[in-house]
Structure 1
């Protein structure tokens, strides 16, 4: 219920739930409230697998009530504004929630509207996206039906969540077409707004091997600006001006921005995201405010794996704050992009700040720079189980105390 709580967490996604669970594991009996209006919780990394025909969509979603820690007060409303000088959050309904410590984790907003014509044609006319629960099955439907023509996969400017997902969709689609014997009749193009295939150079050679294997036309510096669904035409902005492409299938990844109520608030950095120290995850101006997950200003890859490492850091430092001490835990920028390059093999990209490689396993077990079967087993079988049964319950397997300055 609205009122006063020791710790208030804005957001019931991976970051919010995992942080609450980590806090309660360290100190049971804490008075924690989570502000979250949604009634379902999704394992979003699974949507790539849905779009590739590997997972059923239902396995990626559960009721919010089933993942919400039992000891937490669940405020089923949306946050509207922050008043950090008064230690208050105002809800959409107008009521006020007060806190001693605040954790900001509302996620990132998919800005579909920034691409002209896109919202009118999503889910039809061959236009799809694995970035939405209800559209990922349509991706698989299109992949199965396409026997010839042109398939375009797009990637917008950074930041986006799971920077590998745009090309994961492409690789799994190409693998299916190759196995079905129709890839030679399909022109595949990857239109990436960025200037490189992947931001960490060590993984590029393996990925380029698959670009060549599948015969993908790699178009860098191409930003999708409009879609005409009925005409099946997409327009991209390049350094040379606008170019148009006809398509039979178009997989779109939308531009992504901070939620408006956050970017309009005193907590926002210039980017619109929560202005936090990239190591302690404490706000740069308000000592009792912390931020993590996709809404944080840290220059890390926005992935669930990053949240798995960040939530114990925030839990330790929030408790330090409540006890009158400074932060003692640090996040090292770890993120992971398991790049599904074919059905049964993954390039397991794991890296931290500055693109430093941060493998979880010795090279003789998993060499993350090469496509491997064991990495696929980790992605398909192990990580979803760890997410639901570990991370969301405060069990910090494969997570802590890595990155902590001290315990």
Structure 2
């Protein structure tokens, strides 16, 4: 068994892992390891636009090697377990990494079998999902091939990454059918596990008008539990009543239930009462509540913010500042306020930029712009500005 020891080990080479690694290197940290088996890095926010025919899916992918910060050691293996008492990470190939400090950001696990029949139906017979690189193009095929019938867009219960995405594609699809002159022939359904369209009234009111504009039927406190592709039918369950009903579909955009990777719970790093198994951290410092040498950010952390790339952008400098302070034995100086951002695409070239924090109130980052309404400039920010900032600044630790 091969053993090595390092000053900082980062599990996960996605948005959070690369951003933290870049910031640590810029802060002068020489011994930084990133553990991730992926050979391709994805800018996932573009998948919604690809699923609506507004961007090529290939634009979202780059080689992982091209975003890895210089001077960082990249171990192309999957982490399988953490021993927080021994300060060790066990990898899939049997090797062991010791660490002084550990940063957990392995992303979120998509349970494609959590909806019965979804996995075999995905990408065929009108079923797509923008939550996978391979199936987002199938969403666009289903949308453009639908000229009449029933279209269903669903969100699962529980925390998911980019919780606005199941709604975004519904609005973009309806806008496409409106422009094609066939919206009146398409019965659009939106299935949400929540009590409302959005948790912040200022944005919920705008979305209610969008739903009214497109004539969308919304099923609140509900989720899809099964797909019967042979007869093109979904089973929908009410979360409070437990009652189910069958909903036929011509096309459907479905999102799988999500949770933290199993090994976080198995390593004793989650709260035993947390059904999602997320790494149990202080929501402000992002330090583990029981293991001060461990920090977590991104989708696998227990902080109650919306799981978005914008949240990672605010979390990464907090983790780096606090980790550096912990190395010196100093008090942790940085705090994360729960900021997250969700650019809700409501039509072609129209976006509602929802920004908020732990207060669950609007938290605009550009004070002189009214982002509580649909805006064309926010569409171009999502389509062009944010990808540029992501690839050229954020992943390099500069934004």
Which TM class, normalised by the smaller chain length?
A: over 0.9
Provide the residue aligned with 1:52 in structure 2: 52
Aligned residue for 2:85, secondary structure, equals helix
Whether the aligned pair in 1 keeps the contact of 2:175 and 2:348 (CA below 8 Å) is yes
Is 1:297 aligned to residue 299 of structure 2? no
Q: Deviations over 1:81-112 (max 9, x none)?
A: 01011110011111110011000000111111
Distance in 1 separating the partners of 2:62 and 2:302: 28
Per-residue CA distance 1:310-329 (angstroms, 9 max, x = gap): 00110111111111212110
> 2:397 aligned with 1:387, yes or no?
no
Q: Give deviations 1:331-365, integer Å, cap 9, x for gaps.
A: 01000000000011111000000312210112x4x
- Helix, strand or coil for the counterpart of 1:113? coil
CA–CA distance in structure 1, aligned partners of residues 375 and 97 of structure 2: 48
Residues 149 and 247 in structure 1, CA contact (< 8 A), matched pair in contact too: yes
Question: What is aligned with 1:212?
Answer: 212
**Structure 1: distance between partners of 2:242 and 2:329:** 57
Secondary structure of 1:320's match?
helix
Are 2:9 and 1:8 equivalent residues in the alignment? yes
Q: Deviations over 1:378-405 (max 9, x none)?
A: 1111100000011100002xxxxxxxxx
Q: How far apart are the structure 2 equivalents of 1:153 and 1:307?
A: 27
- What pairs up with 1:12-161 in 2 under 5 angstroms? 12-27=13-28, 29-161=29-161
- Per-residue displacement from partner, 1:149-177 (whole Å, max 9, x unpaired)? 00000011120111110000100001110
Match of 1:251 in 2: 253
Please list every run of at least 4 consecutive aligned residues from structure 1 whose deviation after the TM superposition is greater than 2 angstroms.
none
2:334 alignment partner, one of 329, 332, 336: 329
CA contact under 8 A between 2:25 and 2:72: conserved in structure 1? no
Corresponding residue number in structure 1 for 2:355: 350
Alpha carbons of 1:18 and 1:234: their partners in 2 closer, same or farther (altered >3 Å)? same
Given that 1:172 and 1:341 are in contact with CA atoms closer than 8 Å, whether structure 2 keeps it comes out as: yes
In structure 1, runs of 5+ residues without a counterpart are: 397-407
What CA deviation, in whole Å up to 9, does each residue of 1:106-151 have, x standing for no partner? 0111111111111111110111100010111111111111100000
Distance 1:25 1:213, change over 3 A: same
Q: How far is the alpha carbon of 1:26 from its aligned partner?
A: 1.8
Note the C-alpha offset of 1:278.
0.3
**Aligned residues of 1:2 and 1:75 also touching (Cα < 8 A):** no
What SS does the aligned partner of 2:372 have? coil
For 2:265 and 2:348, locate their aligned partners in 1 and report how far apart those are by CA, in whole Å: 39
- Displacement of 1:211: 0.2
Q: CA separation in 2, counterparts of 1:51 and 1:65?
A: 26
| Counterparts of residues 215-294 of structure 1 (less than 5 Å) | 215-238=215-238, 239=241, 241-269=243-271, 270-271=273-274, 272-294=277-299
**Following the alignment from structure 1 to structure 2, what is the Cα–Cα distance between the partners of residues 128 and 65?**
29
1:341 corresponding residue in structure 2: 346
TM-score normalised according to structure 2 size: 0.97
Q: Is 1:165 matched with 2:165?
A: yes
Q: In terms of mean alpha carbon deviation, does 260-269 or 50-59 score higher?
A: 260-269
* Offset of residue 2 of structure 1: 5.8
CA displacement at 1:263 relative to structure 2: 2.0
The gaps in structure 2 that reach 5 residues or longer are none
Q: TM-score, normalised by structure 1?
A: 0.95
Name the SS of the counterpart of 1:3 in structure 2: strand
Give the CA RMSD over aligned residues.
1.1
Q: What SS is found at the alignment partner of 2:359?
A: helix
Q: Is the 8 A contact 1:5 1:31 kept in 2?
A: yes
Structure 1 pair 368–155 and aligned structure 2 pair: CA distance change class (3 A):
same
**Are the counterparts in 1 of residues 206 and 372 from structure 2 also a CA contact under 8 Å?**
yes
3-state SS, counterpart of residue 353 of structure 1: coil
